[in-house]
Structures are given as C-alpha cells and as structure tokens.
Amino acid sequence: MGEVDRIVPLANQHKVPSIYGFSEFAEAGGLMSYGVSYRGYYKRVARYVDAVRKGTKPAVLPVEQPARIALVINLATARELSVSIPQQLLVPADRVIE
C-alpha cells in the first residue's frame, strides 16, 4: 500500500509512538489512527472522476465530507513500544487490534 509499508516499520523500529490519519496505517502495525480509510477515500474520488468523465462540470460537484472517521488502536504495537493505552481511549475506539 505504497508508503504505509515503509513508514510504519520505520516508526516502530525507532520506537516512535505514532498516530496516523488513515486506518490502514494502524492495520499495518502502526500504534493508532484517527481518520478515514484509503479504500473509502478512493471510492469517493472515483465517483467524482466518473461524474466529470460523464460531463458534469467540476464546479457544480458538492464538497463532500468523509462519511466515517474511525479511531483504530493497535494493542500489539502498543505492547511492542511499551506504551500504555488508557481505558478511556479504548472504550470509544471503533476498532481495537489485539
């Protein structure tokens, strides 16, 4: 998935607890993410490209906000980095990776 496979191992190797803006980073071993998914983002982009390709003027397309922003916490990485994740952060998490 591009730079994800380079950035996450580098941050973990240097014991840098990192929070990312795309859920795929936490899924790839990053400590946590708070943001959208690349998959969802590219689906929205594809709809825009399709509309423009079919003749819609870009100026009339609405600005779209992400439909879902998720907090993903990777506990395996937290243990590896010796980082304690407070319960107050785990409870509202959309997904916790063991």
Alpha helices in the chain (DSSP H): 4-13, 23-27, 38-53, 75-80, 87-90
pLDDT higher than 80, residue 2? no
> pTM, whole model, 2 decimals?
0.81
Residues 35-81 have pLDDT tens digits of 988 888 888 889 999 999 999 999 999 998 888 899 999 999 999 99
